[in-house]
Structure 1
Amino acid sequence: MTLRTALARWYGVAVVGMRRTLARTTHTARQRVRFSVLGVAVAITLLLVVTGIGMGLTGGATVQDDDVDYWIVPEGDGASSPLISTDAPQFGSVHDTADTIRATEGVDSATPVLSQVLRVTAGNSSEYVLVVGVVNDGGIGQVSGVNVSALTHHDPYYGDGEYDGEWTGEVALSRSAGATLNAAAGDSLSISGNESFTVTSVDGDGARTVGDIPTAVIQLSELQTLTGATTHDSADQFVVGTNDPGVREELEDVYPSSTVNSRSEMTASQAMDSDLSVALALTAFVVAISIGTLFVVTTMGLELVADRTQLATMSAIGLSGRTQLGIVGVQILATTAIGGVIGALGGLAGIRLTNVIAMRTLTSEPIAFSHPVFVLYGVAVAVLIGICSLPVLLLVTRRVTGGVPQ
């Protein structure tokens, strides 16, 4: 048999399998086939929703808000620029660099950001809190979901680079931090043993939220002093607010060893680097494959048993066992692919619904990440479910027919 003949033969098998799938879905075996499609669709929907939530939670750990358009982050640990601190992947000389970025045409606001998890004490409450240091330039709005407008502009303690200016001791708390520490505006705080801090504002009047990281935002120079980052004037990243996409090229030249990311790129990058995101996505993947395969094997197995008369007819008219198995295989893959498409669309809708519910009851911003590539991911996983189901279902086919002509 030539290659062309073989391809034509298998093309015919595929066409027959697709037509049988369509006929059985719409006429002869609607209930059983639709149950198979539904089982795959539900598994894929749950997979995408869990994956989206995992990526969204990871992205939420970065200092990203609606008025921040670009993030400048160090390019790995091997940076050699003299402006980058050599003991960690951080930027150095960040106050001067921030002034340079703000002077760039098209930039509305910019601040270096330093983040550390430190023990914060308020009265009898003592908890570890994410402490974020920023420079309030009057235009940054929110950082890590916390409004920084209550902080004095331009980081007074930094002064002329000597860290001998006015110590403000100002702290802006997130809702969950206020609830965790039982702190309100005007209360005194101790951060990493320094008792000179006072709460200037608590977002949402200290209302408790679910899934919100307790966060305290203070002046950058004051956090640098607490953590020993004054030596190189260090920070982890810059956040830049702008409506001009052309600014990106200039931001890429600010530090020789740095990467400039947009909001969507930062979310994807953080998701790829996160153990939490990988764990959630992997767990959802394994569960989807397991549940989907079991469902397809059960429902399609019943369908094959019910279809044994037609399989016997195929044997009687001389169709080989390989051809029959090919037709059944196409039916299985077509069924799971249809379920994958429906499940992928359902997953995107589920992510949207999750965000709507979360924004009305828990947070002020979406918690799940969504992207059109999720559709391809869902369909690919559905096809994989079909492939995993094939060995068992093809064995059932041979058993049902009692052996077919070879």
Structure 2
Amino acid sequence: MGSRRSRWAGLVAVGWRRVHHRLSHGGGRQTLVSVLGIALPVAVLLLVASVSLGLAADPSAGNGADYWVVPEGASSAVTNVESAQLGSVHPTAARLTEREDVAHTSPMLVDFIQLEGPDGQRVYVLAVGVIPSADYDGIAPLSTAGLQPGDPYYADGGYNGTWTGEAVISESAATELGADSGTELTVSGTSRSFTTTAVRTPGSAGLTQLPILVAHLSELQAITGAQQQDSASQLVVVAEHPSAETERALAELYPKTMVQTRGGLLSQQGTDSRLPTAMALAALIISMTTGVLLVSTAFGFELAADSKGRQLMSALGIAGRSRAGIIGTELGVVSLYGGGLGVVIWGIGALVMNQVAMARFGAPVAALDPRFIAYGLGVAMLIGLLSLPYLLVVDWRSRGEVSLR
């Protein structure tokens, strides 16, 4: 067992040295083409996948919550704009916040409203109504810092309290409306208006490139008519100590609702976002096909050119299985180099895309998830593995052997 392990370790070392020597001494043009033949498809795949993941993200989901209570069939508040809503949300949120395992609860109402800027520009924005907290400002797609904590206009259900008119808007909304901090924005068709307290960058990629406004819940309810039933699209919960008991309590709040954790919400979004998923799948198939064809062709020429060297190995008594192992090792090293280069190209490309998107839309479009690194390397190795059978046939034919021992 030890001698076999040592033999295979030696074969791996020989394969690595052969590839490294060709790449570092300028004598392996076909090997370099093979590396690029893996790197470029992997980079394109990762770019498409990262943008697809960004597009699948829910623009209403902040990064500071632990649970979302949503009506059944709604994967996000955005898809739930015209469907079932939760009622009596202010009293429900107050009861939940009294629990020891809950730090803060905010109903979230999501709707589209049309705003008019100072120069008469009219733009539809994604309006998000929440109950701000001084301690938890990450429950909405934009930070609520700058909004007065609580919901003063609600006034214990009278909707006749102090109208703050405060709103935080995204950079995209500010650009579209020609607004800045302190700008008054009129809600079209009403006598109401908001005054921006801050212009902020959304914290996630994807649909957050939409113009977004975050305001107090009761004020958005009054504008959209949701105050009649005190309704909202979902409840957002920040847990003091997340547990199964907390989830059970949330599940019993309303009939026909579901409780989503952060991981569950992202999973559901990925399932329901059919177009981005289809894009990522198509990119995977195209990248795999392109990579295998390029590697098989380029590396096949490399093997054919080195047929004398492999015949010399045979004359020295190196068995066919060992020679196949060297080819597999060389291909593995090429795949690893190609995958690593593809990840680097993807990282640079994604950063450039996000910079362009930030300048144009005010939000990034590509999700820079570290898991894409492992994904890219895995796809690169799979391309190499699928190319191996053809390359073994090329090696066999180049040496004129009937079979590999």
TM-score if structure 1 supplies the norm length?
A: 0.72
Tell me the equivalent position of 1:21: 15
Tell me the equivalent position of 1:305: 304
The SS at the match of 1:194 is coil
The residue type paired with residue 98 of structure 1 is: A
Identity %: 30
Of 266-275 and 324-333, more deviation after overlay is shown by: 324-333
Contact 2:342–2:376 (Cα < 8 Å) also in 1: yes
The residue type paired with residue 189 of structure 1 is: T
Q: Does 1:121 align with 2:119?
A: no
Instruction: Tell me how far apart the structure 2 counterparts of residues 25 and 305 of structure 1 sit (CA, whole Å).
Output: 15
The residue type paired with residue 60 of structure 2 is: T
Judged with a 3 Å threshold, the aligned counterparts in structure 2 of structure 1 residues 60 and 405 are, in CA distance, closer, same or farther, namely closer
1:57-76 equivalent positions in 2, closer than 5 A: 58-59=56-57, 61-65=59-63, 68-74=64-70, 76=72
Tell me the equivalent position of 2:95: 100
> Given the alignment, which residue of 174, 177, 182 partners 1:181?
177
Instruction: Tell me how far apart the structure 2 counterparts of residues 252 and 372 of structure 1 sit (CA, whole Å).
Output: 33
Instruction: Tell me how far apart the structure 2 counterparts of residues 405 and 250 of structure 1 sit (CA, whole Å).
Output: 65
Contact 2:113–2:124 (Cα < 8 Å) also in 1: yes
The SS at the match of 1:270 is helix
Deviation, structure 1 residue 100: 2.0
The SS at the match of 2:191 is strand
Contact 1:131–1:217 (Cα < 8 Å) also in 2: yes
The residue type paired with residue 106 of structure 2 is: T
Deviation, structure 1 residue 129: 1.1
The residue type paired with residue 258 of structure 1 is: M
Deviation, structure 1 residue 132: 0.8
Tell me the equivalent position of 2:379: 381
Tell me the equivalent position of 2:259: 259
Tell me the equivalent position of 2:231: 234
The residue type paired with residue 155 of structure 2 is: G
Deviations 1:213-241 (A, max 9, x none): 21112332343344454454332333344
Instruction: Tell me how far apart the structure 2 counterparts of residues 103 and 250 of structure 1 sit (CA, whole Å).
Output: 13
1:124-273 equivalent positions in 2, closer than 5 A: 124-142=120-138, 144-161=140-157, 163=159, 165=161, 168-184=164-180, 185-191=182-188, 193-203=189-199, 212-230=209-227, 232-241=229-238, 244-246=240-242, 249-256=245-252, 257-262=257-262, 266-267=265-266, 269-273=268-272
The residue type paired with residue 308 of structure 1 is: S
Judged with a 3 Å threshold, the aligned counterparts in structure 2 of structure 1 residues 78 and 280 are, in CA distance, closer, same or farther, namely closer
Deviations 1:140-159 (A, max 9, x none): 43554434355454334433
Contact 2:168–2:200 (Cα < 8 Å) also in 1: no
Task: Structure 2: give runs of 5+ residues left out of the alignment.
Answer: none
The residue type paired with residue 289 of structure 1 is: M
The SS at the match of 2:175 is helix
TM-score if structure 2 supplies the norm length?
A: 0.72
Contact 2:107–2:232 (Cα < 8 Å) also in 1: yes
Tell me the equivalent position of 2:333: 335
Instruction: Tell me how far apart the structure 2 counterparts of residues 268 and 354 of structure 1 sit (CA, whole Å).
Output: 27
Contact 1:41–1:344 (Cα < 8 Å) also in 2: yes
The residue type paired with residue 131 of structure 2 is: V
Contact 1:120–1:190 (Cα < 8 Å) also in 2: yes
Q: How many residues align?
A: 383
Deviations 1:80-113 (A, max 9, x none): xxxxx9x945433321121123223364433111
Task: Structure 1: give runs of 5+ residues left out of the alignment.
Answer: 1-7, 80-84
Tell me the equivalent position of 2:104: 109
Tell me the equivalent position of 1:274: 273
Instruction: Tell me how far apart the structure 2 counterparts of residues 58 and 78 of structure 1 sit (CA, whole Å).
Output: 14
Contact 2:62–2:142 (Cα < 8 Å) also in 1: no
Deviation, structure 1 residue 385: 1.3
Judged with a 3 Å threshold, the aligned counterparts in structure 2 of structure 1 residues 195 and 292 are, in CA distance, closer, same or farther, namely farther
Deviation, structure 1 residue 64: 1.2
1:342-381 equivalent positions in 2, closer than 5 A: 342-343=340-341, 346=344, 350=348, 368-371=366-369, 373-381=371-379
Contact 1:336–1:385 (Cα < 8 Å) also in 2: no
